[in-house]
Homo-oligomer: A and B are copies of this chain.
Amino acid sequence: MKITRAAEYAIRCMVYLVRKGKGTLVSRREIAHQAEIPAQFLAKIAQELARAGFIEIRQGAKGGFVLINEPKEMNLLEIVETIIGEISLNESSALLDFCSDPNQCPVHSVWTDATSQLRDTLQGVTFDKISKKGSCISIEKPKSDK
């Protein structure tokens, strides 16, 4: 399963919320506009993030999204896999029945190892680390909201 654009959008959304601060309500419109995400598509993505417990969604006028967790308690892997499911590089590393006897195959372990390596790398990137540096996603100034 490949890392989709939806996963990328989810990360952008979380980065934006993290930089606004835990507990701060931000409208979907603002996030969509600032992080350059199609608004309706963001709705879908946010629903999954909410179901997974990363954000809270408030409906109605003055609604929007709120970050629930501490940035240091969230990592890229969690967010990505919330959207696209468990990462696997190919069918060999995912489907047990793609081949007759994967246990005997030297290539198979390469895929499973590489997949683990990738997952570990992403797991090591927490959102507090991310937010300490600069970002190409600009944060809209308070009071200048439209």
Q: Interface of A with B (CB < 8 Å)?
A: 1-5, 7-8, 11, 15, 36, 76, 89-92, 98-108, 110, 113-114, 117-118, 121-122, 125, 129-137
Cα–Cα distance between A21 and B18 once the two chains are bound (Å): 56
Given contacts A89-B118, A102-B136, A104-B134, 18 further A-B contacts (CB under 8 A): A2-B2, A2-B90, A4-B90, A5-B90, A8-B91, A15-B107, A76-B107, A100-B136, A101-B136, A105-B135, A105-B136, A105-B137, A106-B131, A108-B136, A110-B121, A110-B122, A113-B121, A114-B121
**A and B contact pairs by CB, cutoff 8 A, 17 listed:** A1-B2, A7-B90, A8-B98, A100-B136, A101-B136, A102-B136, A104-B134, A104-B136, A105-B135, A105-B136, A105-B137, A106-B129, A106-B134, A106-B135, A110-B121, A114-B118, A118-B118
Cα–Cα distance between A50 and B117 once the two chains are bound (Å): 31
**Are B130 and A106 in touch, CB under 8 angstroms?**
yes
Chain B positions within 8 Å of A90 at CB level:
2-5, 7-8
**Are B118 and A130 in touch, CB under 8 angstroms?**
no
